Amino acid sequence: MTITHASFVTVPVTDQDAALRFWTGTLGFEVTADFPMPPARWLQVAPKGAQTVLTLSGPGMGGFTPGSARGIMFVTGDVDADCVRLRSAGVEVEGPEEQPWGRMAQFADPDGNRFMLLTEKEGF
């Protein structure tokens, strides 16, 4: 096998403009693609320098249900500081909590898609 990384992860949303504001304004992600693709548009965001991007899939694209994304984990250098920033932006955050593999928290986007933040333990 010669697979090197995942290209994109689909995050189904009800309103691509609102999702874009959340991902760029609240989380600080960058737009990596934004062009028409009826019935909505092809819209991708990612943390600066990331290989894998999030595709914010609008209504009617691919049959995805907004709010159904789960299990997507973002690695961060400081989960505690990120939780403070998210809460100050009005995002409900669970945690952080200590786990054997690091400190972890959870949050949801405006559509109810659930994500995790993780500061990994050194050497894990």
- In the chain, the domains with their CATH numbers are 7-58 (3.10.180.10), 67-124 (3.10.180.10)
For the whole model, what pTM was predicted? Answer: 0.91
Report how far residue 72's alpha carbon sits from residue 49's, in angstroms, rounded to the nearest whole number.
Answer: 18
Q: What are φ and ψ of residue 19, in 5° steps? A: -65, -40
Mean pLDDT, the chain cut into blocks of 10 residues (124 residues total): 91 96 97 91 95 92 91 96 97 96 97 97 82
On whether the CB atoms of residues 110 and 22 are closer than 8 A, the answer is: yes
- The confidence score (pLDDT) of residue 37 equals 86
